[in-house]
């Protein structure tokens, strides 16, 4: 007998329903969306990580995206495609943030590292 308390996440309408429940503040719906989406998010992250010059762990990207997605407020989720588009944008932003940090650190290293001025 199917579990009637759990939505059938294989159905696009159920994912959209979960996304809208999350949008309305249902944290359990968020957890269900993330458990459903994790493998696909990992595949997207692996594709982006493969294009990077520096080694980046896809699972670490997904974990950071998980945190950033949790903070999103007032998102009007349309459907699963919209959700994965937002995921892809967040993953790219994470990679861009990491690149900025690497550039900043390499600039400091080239100039002699971190310096402290004694006053």
Digit-coded pLDDT (tens) for 40-53 = 999 999 999 998 87
pTM of the model: 0.76
In a domain, 93, yes or no: yes
In a domain, 50, yes or no: yes
Q: What is the mean pLDDT of residues 24-31?
A: 91
In a domain, 58, yes or no: yes
Q: Domain tally for the chain? A: 1
Domain region containing 88: 38-110
In a domain, 24, yes or no: no
Q: What is the mean pLDDT of residues 30-49?
A: 94
Sign of the CA dihedral 55, 96, 101, 107? positive
Per-residue pLDDT, 105: 85
In a domain, 68, yes or no: yes
Helices (H), 1-115: 12-23, 27-50, 58-71, 80-110
Per-residue pLDDT, 53: 77
Residue found under tokens 């692996």: 46
* pLDDT higher at 1 or 81: 81
Residues 6+ away with beta carbon under 8 Å from 7: 14, 15, 17, 18, 32
Do the Cβ atoms of 20 and 78 come closer than 8 Å? no
In a domain, 29, yes or no: no
Distance spanning both ends of the chain, measured CA to CA: 74
Q: What is the mean pLDDT of residues 16-33?
A: 92
* pLDDT higher at 108 or 59: 59
In a domain, 118, yes or no: no
In a domain, 14, yes or no: no
Per-residue pLDDT, 9: 54
């Amino acid at each position: 007998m199917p579990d009637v308390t759990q939505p059938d996440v294989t159905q696009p309408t159920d994912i959209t329903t979960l996304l809208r429940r999350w949008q309305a503040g249902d944290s359990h719906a968020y957890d269900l969306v993330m458990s459903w989406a994790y493998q696909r998010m990992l595949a997207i992250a692996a594709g982006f990580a493969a294009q990077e010059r520096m080694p980046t762990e896809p699972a670490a990207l997904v974990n950071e995206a998980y945190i950033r997605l949790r903070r999103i407020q007032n998102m009007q989720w349309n459907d699963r495609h919209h959700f994965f588009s937002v995921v892809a944008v967040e993953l790219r932003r994470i990679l861009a943030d990491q690149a900025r940090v690497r550039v900043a650190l390499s600039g400091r290293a080239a100039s002699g590292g971190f310096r402290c001025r004694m006053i």
